[in-house]
């Protein structure tokens, strides 16, 4: 067995090497570098120590000390990586280290670069850090941490994950108790334009860029109006009756008349829905988590129902155009969140919004008339923009949405097969995204689940819409990898329900006649 003295020597060697190196980050180190060898040696020595209970704990305490002591980013990344590995290997270390990092009151923890590194590594949970920061509040540290988390490249988190801290900062600013740094941050977060400052550099005036033109007052006003609708939606048995006076007041305020303001209104609505979800989930109030998003969906559908062309000539086109504008805003917000959070993006938020929107539109189908199908096509175009090839973090929700019972059948049962091309486009997007994973002999868990979902979707199409599959068999088979026999056979085994296949047990002459008759009946749809 190896002994702690060797472990102490290894740590000292590691510390000495970090001080000597001038490399910006751990990722820049070669794979055969001495530091990587020392990291492996520390982990192995700790795991093989005589006292497997106390040695890892002592080791983690030493690493935390070095983490807050080092002044280099390379050192911070190395110690965080080491601590993360120990937490993964030893349950006691994970419990004690994370508890200390999150909940212990210690002025040494007020180190923004260290906290940022811990958050980026995932060792510290952003939501838990947000809650603790709001409770034990130091405005300079909080403002600096929020600024660093949101402005780093790539961003560590989004505003929606720092709800409590930003809320407390806003309260300080409103009470005139915040310093200039906090006031500037709050204004930036709310999109308030501050006077552009300029600096002189060798006689040349350099203008600092100003922030977005939306004012804090407008944002707060729009938020209040949306909250009024959420309250109506929650408390009224018939929200549609209250919708007319509500939308009348909204129009009188000029919110829906001006293009930029109306777009900003829906952006604020979605932002409020996301923040409401985050707060409810953090507080464990899951019953109320989606109410704001459901209210937004219902509001959109009511607006679409009563919206029309000013001239009265083409009301259907006006409805589709209005919905398309709103959906574009949703796509932009999802794009931003997916860029910030990647694979851990909150799928549930947008899945709930889109599924609520499809359900609410279905409930209004009789009132929407011919516009209903075109609205579904607009949603289909939005789903095409959100395909897994572009948003892999949204893949599972996307698959559920395109197979929604009020979406897929409505497209495929439309007159003259008008919805076929739209759904064919979505199905091809799914198969093309799945194809690279299917080339591997051993599917990962996520890829296996997505494959099973695709298999179920094709089986539903085989059973309920065989004519659709047989009509597009060539392009679908072309998108399926050659060795995926199961998927390919499902597509190739389809035939229109109106056709009776020849019976192989009959005599050959009858079989040939039946085959000729069958080939004449089958016409590939255009």
Q: Give per-residue pLDDT as tens, 375-387.
A: 999 999 999 999 9
**Within-domain flag for 488:** no
The confidence score (pLDDT) of residue 196 equals 40
Distance CA 63, CA 483 (A): 50
Assigned domain for 306 exists: no
CB 272 within 8 A of CB 226: yes
Do 111 and 42 fall into the same domain?
Answer: yes
Final residue before a domain boundary, out of 124, 145, 174:
124
Domain end, chosen from 124, 145, 176, is at 124
Dihedral class, residue 451 (left if φ above 0, else alpha if ψ from -120 to 50, else beta): alpha
Token reading at 137? 């509040």
Task: Identify the H or E element spanning 206.
Answer: strand 204-207
Instruction: Determine the structural domain holding residue 182 and report its residue range.
Output: 134-190
Q: Given this model, what pLDDT does residue 198 score? A: 37
Are 73 and 12 within one domain? yes
Each of the 526 residues of the chain gets a pLDDT tens digit; together they read 344 677 778 888 888 888 887 777 777 777 778 888 888 888 888 877 777 778 888 888 888 888 888 888 888 888 888 888 888 888 888 888 888 887 777 777 788 888 888 888 888 888 788 888 777 667 788 888 888 887 776 677 777 678 788 888 888 888 777 788 888 887 777 654 444 433 333 333 333 333 344 467 788 889 889 999 999 998 888 889 889 889 988 888 888 887 888 888 999 999 999 988 888 887 778 888 899 999 999 999 999 998 876 666 678 889 999 999 999 999 998 888 887 776 666 788 999 999 999 999 999 999 998 999 999 999 999 999 999 999 988 999 999 999 999 999 999 999 999 999 999 999 999 999 999 998 877 788 889 999 999 999 999 999 999 999 999 999 999 999 888 899 999 999 988 777 777 766 665 555 555 555 545 454 555 5
147 domain-assigned: yes
Residue 485 lies in a domain: no
Same domain, 105 and 27: yes
Based on the fold, state whether residues 73 and 158 are members of the same structural domain: no
My answer on whether 86 and 112 are in the same domain is yes
- Residue 246 to residue 240: CA distance in whole angstroms: 10
Please answer whether residues 40 and 89 qualify as being in contact, where contact means their C-beta atoms are separated by less than 8 angstroms. no
In terms of pTM, does the model score above 0.75?
A: no
Pairing of the two strands 198-201 and 204-207: antiparallel
pLDDT of residue 258: 79
Whether 79 is covered by a domain: the verdict is: yes
How many helices (DSSP H) and strands (DSSP E) are in the chain? 26, 2
Of the residues 174, 190, 206, the one at which a domain ends:
190
What does the alpha-carbon distance between residue 523 and residue 526 come to, in Å, rounded to a whole number? 9
Q: Is 296 exposed, middle or buried (0-12, 13-18, 19+ CB in 10 A)?
A: buried
SS3 content of the chain, % helix, strand, coil (to 5): 70, 0, 25
Tell whether 28 and 118 lie within a shared domain. yes
Does 141 reside within a domain? yes
Domain count, the chain: 2
d(CA 142, CA 147): 8
In whole angstroms, give the CA distance from residue 388 to residue 392. Answer: 4
Same domain, 1 and 120: yes
Task: Based on the fold, state whether residues 48 and 95 are members of the same structural domain.
Answer: yes
Residue 489 counted as domain residue: no
pLDDT at position 71, please? 85
Q: 280, 434, 277, 402: which is closest to 348 by C-alpha? A: 277
Within a domain: 170: yes
User: Are 98 and 173 part of one and the same domain?
Assistant: no
Quote the pLDDT of residue 323: 94
- Given this model, what pLDDT does residue 311 score? 66
Are 414 and 373 in contact, with CB atoms under 8 Å apart? Answer: yes
Could you give the CA distance from residue 139 to residue 181 in angstroms, rounded to a whole number? 9
d(C-alpha 493, C-alpha 481), whole Å: 17
Measured on CA atoms in the order 332, 337, 342, 346, is the torsion positive or negative?
negative
Distance (Å, rounded) from C-alpha 78 to C-alpha 66? 10
pLDDT of residue 344: 63
**So what's the pLDDT on residue 462?**
93
Q: Where are the alpha helices (DSSP H) in 34-111?
A: 34-47, 54-69, 73-89, 91-103
The reply to whether 2 and 118 lie within a common domain is yes
Nearest alpha-carbon partner for 382 in 320, 329, 433, 331: 331
- Are 120 and 141 members of one domain? no
Q: How many CB atoms lie within 10 A of CB 300?
A: 22
- The residue to which tokens 């007319």 are assigned: 244
- 141 with 116, same domain: the answer is no
Handedness of CA 381, 337, 189, 200 (dihedral sign): negative
């Amino acid at each position: 067995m190896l002994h702690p003295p060797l472990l102490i020597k290894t740590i000292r060697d590691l510390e000495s090497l970090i001080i000597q190196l001038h490399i910006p980050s751990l990722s820049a180190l070669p794979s055969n570098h001495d530091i990587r060898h020392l990291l492996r040696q520390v982990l192995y020595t700790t795991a093989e120590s005589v006292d497997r209970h106390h040695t890892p704990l002592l080791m983690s305490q030493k690493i935390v000390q070095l983490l807050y002591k080092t002044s280099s980013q390379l050192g911070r990344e190395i110690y965080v990586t080491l601590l993360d590995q120990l937490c993964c290997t030893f349950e006691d270390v994970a419990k004690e280290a994370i508890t200390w990092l999150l909940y212990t009151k210690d002025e040494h923890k007020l180190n923004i670069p260290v906290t940022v590194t811990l958050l980026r590594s995932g060792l510290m949970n952003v939501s838990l850090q947000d809650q603790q920061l709001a409770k034990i509040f130091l405005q300079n540290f909080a403002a600096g941490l929020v600024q660093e988390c949101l402005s780093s490249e790539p961003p560590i988190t989004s505003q929606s994950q720092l709800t409590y801290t930003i809320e407390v900062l806003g309260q300080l600013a409103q009470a005139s108790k915040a310093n200039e740094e906090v006031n500037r941050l709050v204004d930036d977060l709310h999109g308030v334009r501050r006077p552009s400052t300029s600096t002189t550099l060798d006689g040349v005036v350099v203008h600092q860029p100003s922030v977005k033109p939306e004012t804090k007052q407008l944002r707060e006003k729009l938020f209040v109006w949306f909250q009024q609708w959420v309250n109506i939606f929650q408390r009224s048995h018939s929200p549609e009756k209250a919708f007319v006076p509500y939308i009348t007041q909204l129009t009188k305020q000029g919110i829906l008349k001006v293009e930029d303001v109306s777009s900003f209104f829906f952006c604020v609505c979605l932002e409020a829905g996301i923040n409401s979800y985050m707060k409810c989930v953090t507080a464990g109030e899951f019953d109320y988590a989606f109410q704001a998003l459901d209210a937004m969906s219902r509001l959109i559908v009511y607006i679409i129902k009563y919206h029309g062309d000013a001239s009265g000539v083409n009301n259907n086109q006006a409805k589709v155009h209005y919905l398309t504008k709103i959906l574009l805003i949703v796509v932009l917000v999802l794009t931003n969140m997916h860029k910030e959070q990647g694979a851990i993006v909150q799928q549930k938020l947008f899945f709930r919004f889109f599924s609520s929107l499809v359900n609410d539109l279905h409930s209004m189908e009789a009132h929407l008339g011919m516009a209903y199908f075109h609205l579904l096509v607009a949603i289909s175009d939005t789903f095409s923009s959100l395909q897994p090839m572009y948003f892999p973090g949204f893949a599972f929700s996307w698959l559920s949405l395109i197979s929604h019972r009020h979406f897929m059948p409505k497209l495929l049962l439309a007159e003259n097969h008008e919805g076929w091309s739209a759904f064919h486009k979505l199905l091809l997007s799914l198969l093309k995204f799945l194809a690279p994973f299917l080339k591997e002999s051993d599917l990962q868990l996520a890829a296996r689940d997505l494959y099973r979902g695709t298999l179920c979707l094709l089986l539903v199409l085989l059973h309920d819409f065989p004519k659709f599959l047989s009509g597009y068999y060539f392009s679908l088979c072309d998108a399926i990898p050659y060795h995926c026999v199961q998927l390919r056979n499902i597509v190739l085994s389809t035939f229109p329900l109106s056709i009776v296949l020849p019976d192989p047990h009959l005599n050959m002459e009858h079989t040939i006649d039946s085959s000729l008759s069958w080939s004449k009946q089958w016409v590939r749809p255009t």
